[in-house]
Chains A and B, each alone.
Chain A
Amino acid sequence: MATYRLTIKRDNISVQVVAKSGALIAHEMDRYLESFVNRKINSKYTFAKKDVSQNTAAGQTAHYGAQSAAGENTSGGTSEFYIHNGEQINITKEQVSTRTLEQAAPVQQQDIAPVNTAPDSRQYEQKQPEDYLHEQREQGAPISLKDFLVSNKATDVFSEFIISAYYIKRVLNISHFTLKMINSKFYPITNALIDLSMAEEARTRGFIESLDEDGVIKYTLTPAGESYFINQLRG
């Protein structure tokens, strides 16, 4: 049976989708095609044929994980692993060597047309691979955040924040969130923002915990926060 593999890399983050179904990969490719082309891409693409017999199964994983570093990859490690509808999705963090960055810079200057400054392209620039994963989780969720908020007892923005944190953890099965991530879902629905002071209040009351991950502050709902939702806010 054929195997299909799609890898998207940006900076030092790599998302890899491995599937036995070409339709899934084609669907993902179409999504990226639209975003890519709308940026007035002046692409540089290659088509190569290589002998798989040179790679063992483990060797292939290492090979694909290392390619964004142009053969210079060092100690990359898989940070998350999911099984979604029988397909594998790996997120691999890589350490890109200085030489790779130096090689990449001229390519960006010489080969790339001026970036389209339309709002949609700016949004695409800011999207990280994990954003696409979150979108996939949302699309597969049994209930939207909006409906989840309505169906529970939100009395103010703070309680909406706790309900949203519960939704992210228990409905979307995403263990940690950033303020940017939760606000991207929260603001369009409530027209309110969760700021640092609100997060600090929730942390002080023991409802959320924070952790510093590579300079990015991430939060997760604690058992106390879940209890607060179940006992006070659940509809």
Chain B
Amino acid sequence: MAEYVFKMKKGEIEIELSSDDAEFVEQQLAKWREEILKKQG
């Protein structure tokens, strides 16, 4: 079984999401990407 890991790091803070539910991780990743691009745009 595969496990999917999404890791984000800013300075001293690190957030890591991991799951064997690929769809869930994909959704979270998309949400984070969208929010970050929206804020930085």
Contact = CB atoms under 8 A, between A and B. Distances in A.
B17 A64 contact: no
A67 B21 CA distance: 21
Contacts of A53: 1
B19 A3 contact: yes
Interface in B1-41: 1-21, 24-25, 27-29, 31-32, 35-36, 39-40
Contact of A2 (B7, B21, B31, B36): B21
Contact of B3 (A7, A9, A52): A52
Contacts of B6: 45-47
Contacts of A45: 6-9, 32
Given A2-B24, A5-B19, A22-B24, A112 B11 contact: yes
Contacts of B29: 47
A6 B11 contact: no
Contacts of A25: 17, 19, 24
Given A52-B20, A67-B16, A112 B10 contact: yes
A62 interface: no
A6 B24 CA distance: 12
Contacts of B15: 6-9, 29, 32, 36
B19 A43 contact: no
A48 interface: yes
A173 B32 CA distance: 34
A99 interface: no
A108 B11 contact: yes
Nearest to A30: B31
A49 interface: yes
B10 A5 contact: no
Contacts of A32: 15
B16 A37 contact: no
Contacts of B7: 45-46, 48
B24 A33 contact: no
A50 B5 contact: yes
